[in-house]
Structure 1
Amino acid sequence: MRAALTLAAWALLSATAIAAPPEMLPPNMDAVTSDTAVDTAHPAAMVAFRLPSHGALLNAVLYTPSGGEAHATLLLLHGLPGNEQNLDLAQAARRAGWNVLTFHYRGSWGSPGVFSFANCAEDAAAALAWLRDPANVQKYHLKADRIVVAGHSMGGAMAARVAAADKDVAGVLLIDPFDLAGTGRGFADPAKRQAFDAGELHDDMPPLAGTSEDTLLDEIARADPAFDLAANARALADRPLMVIGAERGIAAQGIAAADAARAAGAPWVTSLTMPTDHSFSDHRIALETEVLKWLWTVPGRSVSFTGTAWQPDNIFAKMTRGEVKVATVYEDKYVLAFMGNHPESIGHVLVISKVAHARNIMEIPPVELNRVMAVARRVAIAERAVLHPQGVVIQQNNGNAQSIPHLHVHVYPSYAVSPWLTTPAPMAEFTDLQAVAAKLRAAMPQ
């Protein structure tokens, strides 16, 4: 369990050394097997609702994590027909601080309408639109620019297709994905079509409405090229892509997709194969572990190197204009240093430029970077003098593990161990932050 450091005791901050916090684990990984602390003000919740898609209202569930801040979202698409919905993965992702949206396609599991592969893709796109609706973003605290689309089996085909067509999707997770178009090309051999029907489709029909085996087999046989898994993987070359295959499943199809993305120059492809079946029946914890480790690395599109440019409405830009209240440690014409409201340790300070319109270190003019780092150095000296840590961490992220599209430098003390910079960390009380800020201001060297 990651350390939970409270600032309440710091109203009477003394010059004595601080007791060492417990050892910290890597970011969010305790969420695989452990419940999170209850937030009575903003508890975790489950919202059942009807998702609109092309005139139908689909059965949908949104899992929301605890905490009042905005959270990233995982759109989780199930396969054909959806017997394995991977809801244990949804719960683990929520414990790790993610919203998770899952739903049943038209004509499946009681959702009205006709089931077809084309309709499934449209439904997935409708779910993305729902997650970006400003009313839903505000109501459910969604980060509209940090949406990861994930899919298992046929859901993987849908995830790859919808994300390839939507450049604002932050990342894609394919779990033993099904290559619908590639399989359809194989149907030129009638024996392969018959084998697929008997082995994959025949027993899946009861939960599906408005269709038949022959109808679905014909749709696969003449599948739109937009369902080609390798082609869609190539279109995802500018974003993080993770492919997890199953040895006793259809791992070869996912491997081919990952290879296609790499051949297209994709620098952010992660792939692995687990010794399990298509449902990951005996590798559920392993699956959750790998997914959560990867999710933490996926940046929002606004901070991605291939995403949108610096925007004046980001929260740090608002702070520099005085539109958002902060516990100020230092401020001049060029630089602002303030207490982080999700501190990794007591004394966590962020330092930002007030004049540079830069998301990362590659975009900031050197003269402004020098000013930021000079203030970061002074903050570190003040933390050493006031808080008596064992060391001071100075950290600056660029895309990876960066949640706000404005260059910022973290300066935070380490006591017995160096803390992890996690997303998100617990929120601190503003009055406690002000007390620490006052002590650091008084100790800032010239």
Structure 2
Amino acid sequence: MYIILNFSKLKNKKYITIILLFLSFHNYSQSNSKAFNESLIISINQDSISAYAFIAKGAAPKETVILLHGLPGNEKNIDLAEKLRQDGKNVIYFNYRGSWGSQGQFLYSNCLEDISKVIDYLTNDIISKKLRIKKNSFCLLGHSLGGGIAVLHGVKDNRVKKIIALSAFNAGYELNNDSFDELKSFQNYLNKQFMLNIDTKKFISEVLNHYISWNLLFVNSYQFDKRLIFIDENKNNYSWVKSIKNSEYLIIDSDHSFSDMRNELAIEVLKWINKN
């Protein structure tokens, strides 16, 4: 915004002061509404977890997408975060307790609690104002284990309006149907994940003890009217996904991380989020 003033014609100093104050406030408002990034530390019980905010430009409160990574979380979907921000959404990425430097123990129950606590933090009056977050307009976007976490928590949280599960890992269903050898192989895999503070026997036992309530089919016991989509790389999950009510299903032919279809994935995610 450019305004050319001839101050020689302005006789009243009071008017000059008002104009200068207006211009100063306008410039501040413009700079204050730019896109920005913010490192966050969120306390959960006695632990602290790391988070990162991608805040879209514009002073108005915005729909906010929360990214939930998988196990261990090598695919962080930061490329999707930037595409979503360019489209006017805020994006929050965080590491569960016990993962990638966040304090605490990596447990499935902790992952479920973490997302609830993260939303509590983001809806705090001071934080939501600073990060320009619309308090009742969250979208959970989870990959693999994070996809399951997104569904299990999202259907119960009224602040969450949309849920996107990418190649979802249905922990209760999968582990309960695994053979002893398959469970042993999974435990060996977990033992190699040095970026996780995990007791592998405890992690697996906890999931098996909750195999009913942590089976994604359990969400059918809830009444929910929010939007939900499963996006998979193949039809391996279709046997149980087809039974989840009020859900949509999309196949993007690729690998588990959609490695060679990232642009296509971003297009479909944005199209779905923006659909009325």
TM-score (normalizing by structure 2) = 0.83
Equivalenced residues, count: 249
Alignment partner of 1:144: what SS? strand
The answer (yes or no) to whether the contact 2:136–2:158 under 8 Å persists in 1 is no
2:251 pairs with one of 256, 270, 273: 273
Structure 1 residues 85 and 115: alpha-carbon distance in aligned structure 2, compared to 1, 3 A threshold: same
Structure 1 residues 174 and 236: alpha-carbon distance in aligned structure 2, compared to 1, 3 A threshold: farther
Cα deviation, 1:376-418, whole Å, max 9, x if unaligned, reads xxxxxxxxxxxxxxxxxxxxxxxx3xxxxxxxxxxxxxxxxxx
1:287 aligns with 2:260: no
Which stretches in structure 2 are left out of the alignment for 5+ residues?
4-29
The answer (yes or no) to whether the contact 1:276–1:282 under 8 Å persists in 2 is yes
Deviation for aligned residue 1:260 = 2.1
Alignment partner of 2:134: what SS? strand
Give the Cα–Cα distance (whole angstroms) in 1 for the partners of residues 54 and 213 of structure 2: 30
Question: What is the percentage of aligned positions where both structures have the same residue?
Answer: 28
Give the Cα–Cα distance (whole angstroms) in 2 for the partners of residues 129 and 41 of structure 1: 25
The answer (yes or no) to whether the contact 1:183–1:220 under 8 Å persists in 2 is no
State the match for 1:51 in structure 2: 42
State the match for 1:252 in structure 2: 236
State the match for 1:430 in structure 2: none
1:128 pairs with one of 119, 131, 134: 119
Give the Cα–Cα distance (whole angstroms) in 2 for the partners of residues 48 and 148 of structure 1: 20
The answer (yes or no) to whether the contact 1:151–1:175 under 8 Å persists in 2 is yes
Give the Cα–Cα distance (whole angstroms) in 2 for the partners of residues 54 and 233 of structure 1: 30
RMSD: 2.1
1:103 aligns with 2:90: no
Alignment partner of 2:251: what SS? strand
The answer (yes or no) to whether the contact 2:155–2:224 under 8 Å persists in 1 is no
Structure 1 residues 236 and 99: alpha-carbon distance in aligned structure 2, compared to 1, 3 A threshold: farther
State the match for 2:181 in structure 1: 191
84-93 or 224-233, which deviates more? 224-233
1:258-337 alignment runs, 5 A limit: 258-262=241-245, 266=246, 269-297=247-275
Alignment partner of 2:258: what SS? coil
Give the Cα–Cα distance (whole angstroms) in 2 for the partners of residues 40 and 286 of structure 1: 33
Deviation for aligned residue 1:192 = 2.5
State the match for 2:195 in structure 1: 207
State the match for 1:337 in structure 2: none
Pair member with larger Rg: 1
Alignment partner of 1:59: what SS? strand
Give the Cα–Cα distance (whole angstroms) in 2 for the partners of residues 112 and 194 of structure 1: 27
Alignment partner of 1:261: what SS? coil
Cα deviation, 1:192-243, whole Å, max 9, x if unaligned, reads 2134345x5344x21011x233332223332353311122266374111111
* Richer in helix (by share): 2
1:165-180 alignment runs, 5 A limit: 165-180=156-171
Which stretches in structure 1 are left out of the alignment for 5+ residues?
1-5, 9-38, 298-399, 401-446
Alignment partner of 2:100: what SS? coil
Cα deviation, 1:152-191, whole Å, max 9, x if unaligned, reads 000011111111221331111100000010012114x312
Give the Cα–Cα distance (whole angstroms) in 1 for the partners of residues 220 and 82 of structure 2: 27
1:34-433 alignment runs, 5 A limit: 40-187=31-178, 189-198=179-188, 201-203=190-192, 205-209=193-197, 211-232=198-219, 235=222, 237-247=224-234, 251-253=235-237, 255-262=238-245, 266=246, 269-297=247-275, 400=276
Structure 1 residues 133 and 225: alpha-carbon distance in aligned structure 2, compared to 1, 3 A threshold: farther
Give the Cα–Cα distance (whole angstroms) in 1 for the partners of residues 169 and 57 of structure 2: 34
Deviation for aligned residue 1:293 = 0.5
The answer (yes or no) to whether the contact 2:207–2:214 under 8 Å persists in 1 is no
Structure 1 residues 274 and 234: alpha-carbon distance in aligned structure 2, compared to 1, 3 A threshold: farther
Structure 1 residues 117 and 144: alpha-carbon distance in aligned structure 2, compared to 1, 3 A threshold: same
